Structure 1
Amino acid sequence: MAYDYVAYHEVDLEGKKVLMRVDINSPINPQTGELLGFKRIKEHSKSIKVLSDSAVVLIAHQSRPGKKDFTSLRPHAEALSSFLDREVRFSDELFSTSAKRRIEELSPGEVLLLENVRFYSEEVALKNFDFKAFSQTHIVRELSPLFDYFVCDAFSAAHRSQPTLTGFPLVLPSLAGPLLDKEVSVLTKATEDPKKPLVALLGGIKIEDSMKVAKNLLEGGAVDHVLAVGVVGNLFVWASGRKLGRPSEDVIKKEVPEYKKLLGVARDLLKRYPDKIEYPTDFAADAKGERVRVGIDDLPSRYPLYDIEVDTIAHFSNILKEAGTIIANGPAGVFELPEFAMGTHELYRAVNSSRAFKVVGGGETNAVIEALSLTRIDHVSTGGGALVSFLGGEPMPVLDALQESKKLFFPASIPSE
């Protein structure tokens, strides 16, 4: 669906004090506290540069209580300073008298990062509240009077509803930040106005997520081909009436408690869209450490199916080559093992070389793109769960809250009916 919010570029933010919600949640070495990845920090630094004429105060989270990487954001401030080539100040508090004074004294062009919002119990304890209830939380009431605008740039958290994500839009004029606006614009273009044919390459082990995306894209009529690989592909093969073999079926049963329900969904989709869904016709099995080809007519296999093989790679690569738009999420097999990485690598090389408009996402997918140095991808999404929710047609509370803020604070920009 199209979202009707106000974006950062529609408002003059020069000289304004802006509270900016980002998602710089990053992998951390729990022993040393050292940051191990910088992708989200790097992407958000670009957004901060866009607001360089404003006094910008950042709020963000790192992990959640009980996790070993639930730490302070001080290292994140240092990393942001490096990407921005200027100091990002850090406050180890959220809204103490000292923190408020630092916010009030911040000048345009300066950046201050506040401490991990999940150190404050409201952010993690309150669930299933409406936006109005979140807007009345202590953290929102304490911080909102200090700012002219709230800018949400945290697309990767846009499928969540928490005080610092959906509370501020009801009490402050709120805008979509550069990264969030780009993500929404690109994904809307890819799903609602795609250059045809639209091909969805869905893989990995998160079957439930991929089934949501496949179902929504197929029922919406936008997608022309769904190429199912990885464990997702195995599920469709099983749903087609073929036995995979105990090792591969056990993987699905272990990873997906509601696998019987998803098998039913897959059978229904195959029945309704037989010409649009494609699954592998040959596989690579792990025969005690040796890569062995298994054709679909050779199933069931007593060895686990860890990759796709040459016939499937060639067929799917040809479809990707002729695509007008590609949405890709998830690997084609156990690509972490070198002997079973071929399918994943070859399909994503085919994605990269296609002339289509290409959107990819997901942690494993992004890792493949980086490892293979694929540079012709049009958009690499920062979203994981948020990307799946958007493509799956599920609620996006942050975007809904921004729409509500437009109605409250920008009524003149809403066309009369």
Structure 2
Amino acid sequence: MPSFKTLDDLDDGQRVLVRLDLNSPVEDGVVQDNRRFDRHAETVRELADRDFAVALMAHQGRPGGDDFVSLEQHAEILSDHVDHPVEFVADTFGEAALSAIDDLDGGDVLLLENTRMCDEELPEEEPSVKADTEFVTTLAPEFDAYVNDAYSAAHRSHASLVGFPLALPAYAGRVMETEYEANSAIAEREFDGPVTMVVGGTKATDVIDVMTALGDKVDDFLLGGIAGELFLRADGVPVGRDLEGMDLFDDQWAANRETIESLLDERRDQITLALDLAYEDEDDERAEIEVGDIEEKDRAFLDVGSNTVSEYAAYIEDSDAVFVKGALGLFEDERFADGTVGVLEAISETDCFSVVGGGDTSRAIELYGMSEDDFGHVSIAGGAYIRALTGERLVGVEVLQDQR
């Protein structure tokens, strides 16, 4: 049973204010469609079908950024996913917004303007402070209930996420419900067999925090990506050369060397490092080299090698649960997708509980023609996923739980 109220606890036909996370890539001013629209469409479609009058809130970018744009395009994209009209008003809680909200009938859906265009939205403050903002005190009286479906933003103490649950009866949407259940499983569930975690990506601190927090929950950590090379460096392998114009290794090594060396020493029996690595040869083709044959730091490595994929797949096949955080290589380049895709394919073919998340890792599933149905859960959360794994505070979840 969820630790907060869900849509199952909400009586039909009410006026509801719903927070989504539709934050998306923007290319040349054009908002890009992505899985967040499809996921949130489930909640919006259900509310419309149950005769709720629905007003939606969401954010896009940050002030000053190239991706800080209006949500007008988001309304069109979401409408296609919901297969239901989603109207838009270029206002968040002013007269135009209040008038559009007042005109809502059962089954209507309205998207309000970018919440981050409100001065009171962004500063990280306690929920009680956010609940007292003009943003919240103006909008809340227009509704019977508040629904938070933005799990991927649940680590942010912003007005639209933590203020309204103190002013209205608060419920979790379907994305919030499923993300919380899956991402909390590693801390809350008991598994009969081995628990394996595939950890990669570009941030050493994420990997360190996950391994430190979950050392007693995970049997095997399989490493790759930038973080994996830093652990290999700690093991005496001369790797970790940056591509031109990039600085992913040396600064992280200087900041985290002692911690990485300590983790490797203390958890050696839990940590599996790459056996081989892939790089771009003189003909711009993929080439591989055994880790033991690397004599100097003279090239950039962009993926784990085929022997590593085979070894990691063997661990996965014997696991009762597998969690993925971060990619094992530069999977956006097809030449260096073997590690990430190979591990994901092994998970999809194994009868285990699985959660895939962390940054853009889950995007590889769609990019390489795999089906999300072959995984237990594919998370659309980044920062919130990491915090769930490491047991850090998710204030957007806490305010929902406080109303249970």
TM-score, structure 2 length as denominator? 0.92
Tell which deviates more after alignment, 94-103 or 374-383: 94-103
Question: What is the 5 A alignment of 1:373-412?
Answer: 373-375=369-371, 376-406=374-404
Q: Give the alignment partner of residue 217 of structure 1, picking from 198, 214, 217.
A: 214
Q: Give the alignment partner of residue 90 of structure 2, picking from 82, 89, 92.
A: 92
Q: Judging changes above 3 Å, is the alpha-carbon distance between structure 1 residues 258 and 331 closer, same or farther for their aligned structure 2 residues?
A: closer
Q: Report the counterpart of residue 412 of structure 1 in structure 2.
A: none
Find out whether 1:354 has 2:350 as its counterpart: yes
What's the RMSD between the two structures over aligned residues?
2.2
- The amino acid across from 2:114 in the alignment is N
| Identity of matched residues, % | 32
Q: 1:383: Cα distance to partner?
A: 0.1
Q: Report the counterpart of residue 65 of structure 1 in structure 2.
A: 63
Q: Judging changes above 3 Å, is the alpha-carbon distance between structure 1 residues 27 and 251 closer, same or farther for their aligned structure 2 residues?
A: closer
Q: Report the counterpart of residue 275 of structure 1 in structure 2.
A: 269
Q: Report the counterpart of residue 413 of structure 1 in structure 2.
A: none
Q: Report the counterpart of residue 286 of structure 1 in structure 2.
A: 280
Question: What is the 5 A alignment of 1:1-400?
Answer: 4-12=3-11, 14-30=12-28, 33-52=29-48, 53=50, 54-124=52-122, 126-127=123-124, 129-195=125-191, 196-218=193-215, 221-240=216-235, 242-245=236-239, 247=241, 254=248, 257-288=251-282, 289-301=284-296, 302-375=298-371, 376-400=374-398
SS of the residue corresponding to residue 22 of structure 2 reads coil
Q: 1:57: Cα distance to partner?
A: 0.7
**Unaligned runs of at least 5 residues, structure 1:** 407-417
Instruction: Tell me how far apart the structure 1 counterparts of residues 252 and 291 of structure 2 sit (CA, whole Å).
Output: 25
- The amino acid across from 1:25 in the alignment is N
8 Å contact kept, 1:194–1:324:
no
Q: 1:185: Cα distance to partner?
A: 0.9
8 Å contact kept, 1:3–1:399:
no
SS of the residue corresponding to residue 277 of structure 2 reads strand
- The amino acid across from 2:229 in the alignment is N
Q: 1:80-121: per-residue Cα shift (whole Å, max 9, x none)?
A: 221222211111111222321221231221111111111111
Instruction: Tell me how far apart the structure 1 counterparts of residues 106 and 43 of structure 2 sit (CA, whole Å).
Output: 15
Q: 1:252: Cα distance to partner?
A: 9.3
Q: Judging changes above 3 Å, is the alpha-carbon distance between structure 1 residues 130 and 255 closer, same or farther for their aligned structure 2 residues?
A: farther
SS of the residue corresponding to residue 87 of structure 1 reads coil
- The amino acid across from 1:266 in the alignment is I
Q: 1:194: Cα distance to partner?
A: 4.5
Q: Report the counterpart of residue 415 of structure 1 in structure 2.
A: none
- The amino acid across from 2:349 in the alignment is S
Q: Judging changes above 3 Å, is the alpha-carbon distance between structure 1 residues 197 and 250 closer, same or farther for their aligned structure 2 residues?
A: farther
Q: Judging changes above 3 Å, is the alpha-carbon distance between structure 1 residues 178 and 3 closer, same or farther for their aligned structure 2 residues?
A: closer
Instruction: Tell me how far apart the structure 2 counterparts of residues 255 and 119 of structure 1 sit (CA, whole Å).
Output: 36
Q: 1:255: Cα distance to partner?
A: 5.2
8 Å contact kept, 1:153–1:178:
yes
Instruction: Tell me how far apart the structure 1 counterparts of residues 99 and 144 of structure 2 sit (CA, whole Å).
Output: 16
Higher helix proportion? 1
